[in-house]
Structure 1
Amino acid sequence: MDPSRIIDSFPAPSFRGAQERALRDIRDAFADGNDVVLVRAPTGSGKSLLARAIAGSAATVDETSPAQATDAYYTTPQVSQLDDVAEDDLLSDLKIIRGKSNYNCIIRGEEDTPVDRAPCARKRGFDCSVRHRCPYFSDRAIASNRQIAAMTLAYFMQTAGSDVFRKRDVVVVDEAHGLAEWAEMYATIDLKPRTVPVWDDIGVPDVAAAGDPVERASRFAETLVGVCKREKDELLTKSELTPEEAARRDRLQELIGELQWFVEDYRDPQSPTTWVVDQHDGEGSPIAIKPLDPAKYLKHTVWDRGNKFALLSATILNKAAFCRSVGLDPSTVALVDVEHTFPVENRPLYDVTQGKMTYEHRDETLPKIARLVVRLMAKHPDEKGLIHCHSYAIQAELRRRLAEMGLGNRVRGHDRDDRNAELETWKATDRPEVFLSVKMEEALDLNGDLCRWQVLCKAPYLNTNDSRVARRLEDGQWAWYRRAALRTVIQACGRVVRAPDDHGDTYVADSSLLQLFDKTRTDMPDWFAAQVDRMTKPDLPEFDPVAAGGRGSNAGNATGGTANLGGSTSRAAGASGADSGSRRDSTRGSRSAGSRASGSGGTSSGGSDSRETGGSDGSADDGGRSNHPLSDVWGE
């Protein structure tokens, strides 16, 4: 790596905001001998451009011996972030490679078949005559030889040890704040009918009832490996597989690798990994085997893949804590803070707290928040809004109550299966609809008139029913618990203000958020602390569903433009902007609600949430993956 090349490698014709100063600080941090530089860059700082400049400092083939690592990787956990890179002309020299399932076969008659189910994956000894033109293998070959190869973090981790994507000189990880959580989630082994092809052929023990559940789980894992191997070997005797059989074979091989890695790591007395096991319904029920702080896993999948690393995010809140969580030595890590260039008055926080939204208080507080939303809709009669509901149970109850108040015509939501479709429909409309979202605090670009106001319904504490969370809290890691919630809040606050001349209001409805701000003051970036310091109580209209756009108003009939319901908005009009990409979600789960609010249906505020403590919320039925901040890369 030659840090002196960083500034000259910046791809834009000119700098804006604090970019030049940031690159100088990053250059100096690497020049001082640091192996890893954390770049805390807020919304609007152009992290992708900074990432490209850093990647441009990697050693080249002409400068090194054949045995030395050259070139760079750019990786991000967000599929939508990679899509943005693909569409940015300034980043055209980054060659993107995706997982096989994202490409279709080009053989005649197989055009609708993903490459991972194509004849080359189904037929033994298949010699593909068009492999040189295969979109996947072509992209892979180009990326493996390009100076900067770009991929999702999932693909990057999966290719650890690959002869194609070997160690490189520089690795740049964008949106790196969730690296530890993603590694834990990616290394989690979920054993249930959908993930274990031989589920009906095995007897699942009650590991939770054992004296040592992890030891019992390891013995079961060894047994399961044997069953999986026999089934896989039987499939391999066939000369040709159906697409379904190919998928079964691949999943068996993947599961064998996961289980063997768990057993090997668990039985290694030198391993730093602590394992926990979840099984809620006893014998015959699903089992989740989860690692805590998987530094060993990250070493193999990330830290062994490069010489120098740049990790970029707006919400790396505490250097020492972050380094501990990902297995880094803080003495070899530098932190560079990038100045926020958005005026603080354009991104105000408002205190509209209605009470606590913990499980014990939710039935009392949620109806108040529903009435608050009506008042906010009246304050913003011709502006689109976003409600961060935190869970599908909260979303369903809010929708039911707003529909009963006659506001179903101005409210839109989503379920687990149609997240993207409903989000894109809402973004495309000119009507002042309010979108009730679940787990959209990150990777959502709502520039300009796409959204002018948002509500934080609940402090986003992690679910204490998760064994990893519970174990850490037993160990007294409350600072970690609060930082995780603060990180999500800061990410959410960045959704509606995307440029220096943009503006958007954020309303804090859960009083637990005020306590969170008090307890995490020292972990806040200065620019967010400034927002908190300026937080005030706004003047809101009286409760009036008609003024909010309910039945009897013009809002429900607005077409071809924004409805004008009278009244004034909370801020002067700002510059509008086009969307630059939204988050994709590839998780699957049970349907929770329809796409539009109606006067019937819905669940109670706590109906689908598991019992919680400490202010956390549990609503996932898929091992937590659908609620994970990096969940959009599953299936990659």
Structure 2
Amino acid sequence: MLFPFKVPRKGQLEAIAAAREAFARGKRFVVIEAPTGSGKSGVAVTLAREASSAYLVTAQKLLQDQYARDFPELALMKGRANYRCLVAPTHAAAAPCIAGRKFPECDDCPYFCAKEAAMAASGTLLNYAYYLTELNYQGGFGPRELLVLDEAHNAEGALMSFVEVSFSDAQLRRVGIGEALPVVLDENEWFEVAEDLVPLFRSRRRELEAQLKGARLPTETALELLAHKGWLESQLARLELLAYSRDEENVEWVALRTSGSGGQSVTLKPVKVAAFAEELMFRFGERVLMLSATILDPPTYLRSLGIDPGDAEVITIASDFPPENRPIYPRPVARLTRHHLERDLPKLVHEIIELLEAHPEDKGVIHTHTYKIAAYIARYLPKRHAARLVTHDSAEGREAALDKHLRSRQPTVLLTPSMTEGIDLPGDLSRWQVICKLPYPYLGDPQIARRRELDPAWYDWRTCLTVVQAYGRSVRSRDDFAVTYVLDADFGAFVRRQRARLPGWFLEAVQG
């Protein structure tokens, strides 16, 4: 047994044995659903150690770092921008070597040293973005016996981000293409525009190659041109995939157009990514182990990734966290749908004031689901309460806000629309939390609207997934405790509708 801990948690050894047996019976995919804090990492690392070679892929770099601290035998690999350059005050993604200039120090380049170690290791830690880019486009890494996808409910979203195509007037100007995007009235015309961009992108790429080859450019200029060339190559690969999938595999795509002072911006997305999962993600593992706290609905989950149910085994681990340590209190004070939002936001703020006063010495987290709700709460809380808030107004400020909350000795409260997963707030880091609004996916995105139309179960599943993930941020062990308040007035009806999809350990914590 290569189990990494002295004392296993309840269900860990049973899950390992069940996964091992399923693979032995010829199942290619094993999906393990285990609650937050149940020790999924121990299961993942045990099976990775038993394989001759393995990739272990996580959703976020923070989770990579956590794995690397706990299991130092795993080789950690991230993108170039995470490694410093030894010859210039920059990172490896903007280093002089990219422009063809080499120095003696380059032999000890942290990025390439880490990559060599990661390729040679039997177990390698990657994040989804780097894994998809590196294995599909860059080369060096090859297939392995076992592919472990941690936080596997994020696999579909990672594939969507990888294959979607975005271009804008500002981006075209930046890379030296003078033509602006046309004004079109029919969404389908954007796919014709995308097709017309291909020869423009190829021509501009050839021009950049000639400039880089034929002249002695300053390093900064060469790096800028290389960045433009890289963007064009990335877009061409995605446009090729788009055209092939629409023409040969009948994959449906949608277009989202926005406009602003810089001109138009367009994003093209497939309605579903199931057709891409095997070629872009799964083919690099002879066997695939997938772990998450929120599988919830196995048929819908497997369908979203194009996995044949007959080729998969789903294993469920029950929670042994006492429900009295993690109660959920519905406090139905506000309807925060589009039609009621403005009317009910003051009611939401009033309730949050009461909760802040009920937990004056406790750290906590308030999940708002949207930046608009977060901004309203921050603006209208009395100063004596607003002083406790740690918040952010964009994705760029997320990590700084989290770090401030973790380091502060004061009873700070995170106010955030984007920390429903991927963060740990054990013990006194969060003794209470609030879910302001049921986190339905945004129907203003045409991909989500069309997906809901084709597969309503998927839409409900994604909402349940986010609720359960948010709930799991604060109670991280059997002896930990925290209280969760749900302020959305529709929560009771939601629980009744989704009772068959929500896990039993979640339902048993709901009070009243």
Where on the TM-score scale, by shorter chain, does this alignment land: which range? Answer: over 0.9
Distance 1:234 1:369 in 2: 60
User: Are residues 248 and 503 of structure 1, via their aligned partners in 2, closer, same or farther at CA, if it must alter by over 3 Å?
Assistant: farther
1:220 to 185, 192, 196: 196
- Paired position in structure 2 for 1:617: none
CA contact (8 A) 2:28 2:288 kept: yes
Distance 2:305 2:12 in 1: 27
- Paired position in structure 2 for 1:35: 28
Distance 1:364 1:463 in 2: 20
User: Deviations along 1:391-414, whole A, 9 cap, x unmatched?
Assistant: 11111111111136x422333322
2:126 to 151, 163, 185: 151
User: Are residues 228 and 10 of structure 1, via their aligned partners in 2, closer, same or farther at CA, if it must alter by over 3 Å?
Assistant: farther
> Partner of 1:354: helix, strand, or coil?
strand
User: Are residues 295 and 258 of structure 1, via their aligned partners in 2, closer, same or farther at CA, if it must alter by over 3 Å?
Assistant: farther
1:276 to 240, 254, 271: 254
- Paired position in structure 1 for 2:166: 190
Letter in 2 for 1:257: S
CA contact (8 A) 2:55 2:147 kept: yes
> Partner of 1:279: helix, strand, or coil?
strand
Letter in 1 for 2:504: D
Please state if 1:407 is matched with 2:385.
Answer: yes
Please state if 1:509 is matched with 2:484.
Answer: no
Letter in 2 for 1:319: P
Letter in 2 for 1:94: L
CA contact (8 A) 2:441 2:448 kept: yes
Give how far 1:234 is off. 4.0
Give how far 1:486 is off. 0.9
> Partner of 2:382: helix, strand, or coil?
helix
> Partner of 2:366: helix, strand, or coil?
strand
Please state if 1:135 is matched with 2:135.
Answer: no
Distance 1:371 1:244 in 2: 55
CA contact (8 A) 2:33 2:291 kept: yes
CA contact (8 A) 1:353 1:510 kept: yes
- Paired position in structure 2 for 1:242: 219
User: Are residues 228 and 525 of structure 1, via their aligned partners in 2, closer, same or farther at CA, if it must alter by over 3 Å?
Assistant: farther
Give how far 1:171 is off. 0.5
1:300 to 256, 262, 279: 279
Letter in 2 for 1:389: T
Identical-residue share of aligned pairs (%): 31
> Partner of 1:218: helix, strand, or coil?
helix
- Paired position in structure 2 for 1:494: 472
CA contact (8 A) 2:96 2:223 kept: no
Distance 1:272 1:58 in 2: 37
Q: Matches of residues 329-340 of structure 1 in structure 2 within 5 Å?
A: 329-340=308-319
Distance 1:284 1:415 in 2: 24
Distance 1:530 1:487 in 2: 17
User: Are residues 373 and 12 of structure 1, via their aligned partners in 2, closer, same or farther at CA, if it must alter by over 3 Å?
Assistant: same
Distance 2:223 2:305 in 1: 35
User: Deviations along 1:553-590, whole A, 9 cap, x unmatched?
Assistant: xxxxxxxxxxxxxxxxxxxxxxxxxxxxxxxxxxxxxx
Distance 2:208 2:6 in 1: 55
Letter in 1 for 2:447: R
User: Are residues 194 and 202 of structure 1, via their aligned partners in 2, closer, same or farther at CA, if it must alter by over 3 Å?
Assistant: closer
> Partner of 2:381: helix, strand, or coil?
helix
Distance 1:273 1:241 in 2: 44
User: Deviations along 1:346-389, whole A, 9 cap, x unmatched?
Assistant: 11000111131011101121111111111111221211121111
> Partner of 2:438: helix, strand, or coil?
coil
Letter in 2 for 1:303: F
* Deviation beyond 6 Å, 4+ runs, structure 1: none
Please state if 1:521 is matched with 2:506.
Answer: no
1:83 to 54, 65, 89: 65
CA contact (8 A) 2:254 2:268 kept: yes
- Paired position in structure 2 for 1:458: 437
Please state if 1:378 is matched with 2:357.
Answer: yes
Give how far 1:430 is off. 2.4
- Paired position in structure 1 for 2:78: 98
User: Are residues 375 and 434 of structure 1, via their aligned partners in 2, closer, same or farther at CA, if it must alter by over 3 Å?
Assistant: same
User: Are residues 234 and 485 of structure 1, via their aligned partners in 2, closer, same or farther at CA, if it must alter by over 3 Å?
Assistant: same
CA contact (8 A) 1:385 1:454 kept: yes
Give how far 1:84 is off. 0.5
CA contact (8 A) 1:96 1:150 kept: yes
Please state if 1:57 is matched with 2:32.
Answer: no
User: Deviations along 1:413-436, whole A, 9 cap, x unmatched?
Assistant: 222243222222222222222221
Letter in 2 for 1:147: S
Distance 2:241 2:485 in 1: 49
User: Are residues 375 and 216 of structure 1, via their aligned partners in 2, closer, same or farther at CA, if it must alter by over 3 Å?
Assistant: same
Q: Which shows bigger deviation, 493-502 or 25-34? A: 25-34
- Paired position in structure 2 for 1:629: none
> Partner of 1:312: helix, strand, or coil?
strand
Instruction: Flag the structure with higher helix content.
Output: 2
Distance 1:468 1:225 in 2: 26
Give how far 1:335 is off. 0.4
Give how far 1:252 is off. 2.9
Please state if 1:16 is matched with 2:21.
Answer: no
User: Are residues 497 and 202 of structure 1, via their aligned partners in 2, closer, same or farther at CA, if it must alter by over 3 Å?
Assistant: same
Q: Matches of residues 407-556 of structure 1 in structure 2 within 5 Å?
A: 407-416=385-394, 417-475=396-454, 477-532=455-510, 535-536=511-512
CA contact (8 A) 1:214 1:276 kept: no
CA contact (8 A) 2:132 2:162 kept: no
> Partner of 1:523: helix, strand, or coil?
coil
Distance 1:280 1:195 in 2: 14
Letter in 1 for 2:68: A
Distance 1:225 1:266 in 2: 15
CA contact (8 A) 1:273 1:291 kept: yes
User: Are residues 194 and 214 of structure 1, via their aligned partners in 2, closer, same or farther at CA, if it must alter by over 3 Å?
Assistant: closer
Alignment length (residue pairs): 506
> Partner of 2:488: helix, strand, or coil?
coil
> Partner of 1:256: helix, strand, or coil?
helix
CA contact (8 A) 1:411 1:433 kept: yes
Please state if 1:257 is matched with 2:259.
Answer: no
Give how far 1:284 is off. 4.7
Q: Which shows bigger deviation, 432-441 or 272-281? A: 272-281
Letter in 2 for 1:36: F
User: Are residues 375 and 446 of structure 1, via their aligned partners in 2, closer, same or farther at CA, if it must alter by over 3 Å?
Assistant: same
> Partner of 1:522: helix, strand, or coil?
coil
Give how far 1:230 is off. 4.1
Distance 2:208 2:19 in 1: 49
- Paired position in structure 1 for 2:291: 312
CA contact (8 A) 1:351 1:509 kept: yes
Give the TM-score, by structure 1 length: 0.76
- Paired position in structure 2 for 1:181: 157
Give how far 1:339 is off. 2.0
Give how far 1:245 is off. 3.9
CA root-mean-square deviation: 2.1
Q: Which shows bigger deviation, 518-527 or 339-348? A: 518-527
Give how far 1:500 is off. 0.6
- Paired position in structure 2 for 1:25: 18
Distance 2:20 2:505 in 1: 23
Letter in 1 for 2:155: L
